A and B are shown apart, each in its own frame.
Chain A
């Protein structure tokens, strides 16, 4: 079983739509999760961290459900500029270390059309 699994997509939505991405993880001890965005032929960039209490940043809302080992990202009022690949990411770190290993889901491609 993959450590981080995502909806394969692709998602093709009109401007203004609301779209939700889901992700599950296998390691119940994992502590930290993120959503990254990656544009074509560019590096991944942090979109937002994910907390159990849920967090919102403008049109974006992320949620972590530890009981179900499930992560979600909701995008409201989609814009053309939201078109990208969205990556669900787990951060793992060993106790006493000063680094963290990122494990990426396969990514979900979002295309927002006029």
Chain B
């Protein structure tokens, strides 16, 4: 299994809703990542988990809350989002510091209304 699986593929949520994005990999990778990609822009790193511990938070607003329940799963909890948070949210995983096997999921396209 060489895939990163993200669900849902599409999500529309209101500004008062709470929702979660899910990411799963079974490649034994010990680093997992959340990236955000706005339209016509490159992906930007949000969070890094290494060995299930949060290693990097790129000054992301607290309305985004990551969680790593185990080495295969990564969640992103969303609460009180703004329309400008609408974007493609990409999960990735890798093995080791040199990014061996860096693999992206197909993303969740989020629209905040």
- A interface list, Cβ under 8 A from B: 31-32, 41-46, 87, 91, 93-94, 96-107
Contact = CB atoms under 8 A, between A and B. Distances in A.
B36 to A, nearest CB: 12
B59 to A, nearest CB: 14
Most buried by A among B43, B50, B105, B109: B43
A87 B94 CA distance: 19
Nearest to A101: B45
Interface of B: 30-31, 33, 35, 41-45, 48, 50-51, 55-56, 88, 90, 92, 94, 96-99, 102, 104-107, 109
Contacts of A91: 98-99, 102
A100 B31 CA distance: 8
Nearest to A107: B42
Contacts of B96: 98, 100
Query: Interface residues of B: mostly helix, strand, loop or mixed?
Result: strand
B107 A43 contact: yes
Contact of A106 (B31, B33, B42, B107): B42
A87 B55 contact: no
Contacts of B51: 98
Nearest to A88: B42
A43 B106 contact: yes
A102 B43 CA distance: 9
Contacts of B56: 99, 101
Contact of A42 (B35, B48, B92, B106): B106
